[in-house]
Amino acid sequence: MDYQGKNVLVLGLARSGAAVARLLNKHGARVVANDQKERESFGDVPDELGKLGIEVICGGHPEGIVSPNLDLLVKNPGIPYTAAPIQQALALGIPIVTEVEVAYQFAKAPIIGITGSNGKTTTTTLTGEILKAAGLNPVVAGNIGTALSEIVEEVRADQWLVAELSSFQLLGTDTFRPRIGALLNLYKAHLDYHGTMEEYIAAKSRLFRNQAENDVAVLNADQPAVMELANSLQGRIFPFSIRKRLEEGVFVKDESIIVRSSGQDVPVCRLNDIPIKGAHNLENVLAATAIAYSAGASPGSIREGIRGFKGVEHRLEFVAEKNGVTYYNDSKATNAEAATRAITSFSNPVVLIAGGLDRGTDFAELIPVFQKHVKAIVTLGQSADKLAAAAEKAGVLTRFKAGSIEEAVSIAANAAETGDSVLLSPACASWDMYSSFEERGRIFKDAVHTM
C-alpha cells in the first residue's frame, strides 16, 4: 500500500503502536495515535510523536475518532474486536490490521515467523542464536520485545528477520508471508479473546495463508490438531517430532537429534548436549533445528547454537541455590499447559508458587501434575483459591496464600527443604497484580536474591 496522504488511525500507544505510527508517518501517512490511557502513562513518547507531526489523543476514544475518511486502522494486538472503535471501523468497512501487517510491507529481508501456544520465545531466541552461529546475521523481533516496525527497514535482504508472533498479531494480517513459518503447538489459550478453539486455530493458521510452494511450513508432527492443517498449506511441510521417526523432518533417534532430508539422515547433536531442561524444551530445540536447517544453517552451526544456549529469561530460568534449595523463574507460564511443562521437568519435590489473573480456568488438568510433583503450594492473585482447591484435590497438604510475590518467596523458602526446588510457574497471566510477566519474574528474582 502507498501510504502517501492516507489517513491512518493507530489504536493503542504501546511500543508497537508508537513504532508503526513513526513508520507510517515517515512514508507520508496522516497519522492519529489514540489510547484510552492517560498521556502521562507513556512518558515522552506522545511529545516525540507530536514533534513528527503525529496527532496523539489519550485518555479515551473521543466521538468521531473513527470516521468514514479513514483509510486504515492499525490496532494494538491486545485490543479485542468487540471494542467500540473497532466495531465502528468494521461497520464502515475500514480495513483493520495489526502492526505486523504494516511492517511486512516494508520488509526487504526474508521472514521466519514462529507461533504456538507455548515455547515461542525459547524457540525464536534459539533460532536466532543458531543462525548467528551459522553466520546468517539474523535479527530477532516481534512479540519477543522489539516491534517489527522499529527495525524492519534496517534489516538487509541478505539477512533473516526472525519474528515471534502471537495469535492476536496474526489475526490482523492480510498479505503477511513468511518464507519459513513454524507452528509449535496448539493448546487452549486466549479463548476469552478468540471465543472458541476453532477461532484461535484459525488465527494461528493465518501464518501460512500466503505461503507459496518454495516456502517452508514447520509443524509439530506430534499434535494432530497441528498436522490437520498440513493438507491445506501451499508450502513444503518440514515437521518435527519427539515421539516418532519421520520420513522427512527432525526427530530423535538413538539419543541424538536427526535431520532427515531427501532420504538422508544427518546427525545434529546428542540429547545430553542440550543445556536446557524438560521435554518441552526438547520440542523447542527440534523446532528450532528444523527452522534453522530450512534457512540454510549447517548441522555443525545448529549444534554450536544449541550447545551454547542457556535459555531465556522467565522461562524455567535458574535463579539461585540457597541452603540446598534451587529457585527457578518460570513467570512466562501464563496457562496451565505451560505450567505443566515446567513442573514435570523436575524429578525432585517442587514447592510451587502459582496464581494470577482469573480467566475462568478451573485448573483440573493440573491435579495429576500436583499429585506427582508438588509437595507444597503458595497461591496468589485472583485465581489463588481455584489453584488451592485443585491442590487440595491432588492431596497437597501444605498450602499457603500470599499477597505478593515477595511474601510468596518467603513462605516457599520456609516450606522448602534441602533437595527441593522452589518454582514460580503461575499458570496465569500477571495483569491482576503486575503489568507483565516480566515484571512479575523480576520481582521474584529480586526477592530470591535478597532473602
pLDDT tens, residue by residue, 74-129: 999 989 999 999 999 999 999 999 999 999 999 999 999 999 988 899 999 999 99
Residue 435 among known ligand-binding residues: no
pLDDT of 295 higher than 90 = yes
Confidence class for position 145, pLDDT limits 50, 70, 90: confident
**121 among annotated binding-site residues:** yes
Rounded Cα distance, 390 and 370, in Å? 8
pLDDT, position 144: 84
Which segment of 56-65, 312-321, 401-410 scores lowest on mean pLDDT? 312-321
Element containing residue 16 per DSSP (H, E): helix 15-26
Architecture of domain 101-307: 3-Layer(aba) Sandwich (3.40)
Residue 441 scores a pLDDT above 70: yes
Can you give the pLDDT at residue 336? 93
119 assigned to a ligand binding site: yes
Q: Would you place residue 259 in the very low, low, confident or very high pLDDT band (cuts 50, 70, 90)?
A: very high
Helices (H), 69-108: 84-92, 99-104
Regarding the domain delimited by 7-94, which CATH topology (the fold level of the hierarchy) does it fall under? Rossmann fold (3.40.50)
Strand order in the sheet with 236-237: 138-142, 160-164, 111-115, 180-183, 216-219, 236-237
294 is in an annotated binding site: no
According to the model, what pLDDT value does residue 360 have?
87
The fraction of the chain above a pLDDT of 90, given in percent, is 88
Average pLDDT over residues 193-215: 91
pLDDT at 73 over 80: yes
On whether the CB atoms of residues 344 and 279 are closer than 8 A, the answer is: yes
- Residue 267 · residue 257 · CB < 8 Å: yes
pLDDT at res. 118: 86
pLDDT value for 191 = 64
pLDDT level of residue 150 (50, 70, 90 thresholds): very high
Q: Looking at residue 278, what is its pLDDT?
A: 83
The span from the first CA to the last CA of the chain, in angstroms, equals: 55
311 is in an annotated binding site: no
Task: For residue 294, give the 3-state DSSP assignment.
Answer: helix
Rounded to whole angstroms, the Cα distance separating 38 from 23 reads 23
Tell me the per-residue pLDDT of 357-376, one tens digit each, with 9 for 90 and over: 998 888 999 999 999 999 99
Q: What is the mean pLDDT of the segment spanning 159-172?
A: 96
Q: Per the annotation, does 116 bind a ligand?
A: yes
Residue 315 pLDDT > 90: no
Q: Residue 9 pairs with which residues in a beta bridge?
A: 32, 73
Q: Taking residues 40-64, what's their average pLDDT?
A: 95
pLDDT score of 187 more than 90: no
What confidence tier does 190 reach under pLDDT thresholds 50, 70, 90? Answer: low
- The mean predicted confidence, pLDDT, of the chain is 95
Confidence of residue 189 (pLDDT cuts 50, 70, 90): low
pLDDT above 70 (res 430): yes
Q: What is the mean pLDDT of residues 317-344?
A: 93
The pLDDT of residue 51 is above 90: yes
What is the Cα–Cα distance from 250 to 290, expressed in whole angstroms? 6
Give the C-alpha distances (Å, rounded to integers) separating 24 from 60, 65, 143, 175, 283.
22, 18, 20, 17, 38
Say what the pLDDT of residue 143 is.
87
pLDDT for res 34:
97
The pLDDT-based confidence of 22 (bands split at 50, 70, 90) is very high
The answer, yes or no, to whether residue 1 has pLDDT greater than 90, is no
pTM score, whole prediction: 0.82
Please give the C-alpha separations between residue 171 and each of 21, 166, 359, in angstroms, as whole numbers. 20, 9, 21
The domain spans of the chain are 7-94, 101-307, 317-449
- Is the pLDDT confidence value at 210 over 90? yes
Specify whether domain 317-449 bears CATH 3.90.190.20: yes
Is the pLDDT confidence value at 335 over 80?
yes
Tell me, what amino acid is at 351? V
Burial letters for 400-413: b for 16+ Cβ neighbours within 10 Å, e otherwise? bbbeebbebbebbb
Check the annotation: does 195 bind a ligand.
no
- What mean pLDDT is predicted for residues 384-395? 97
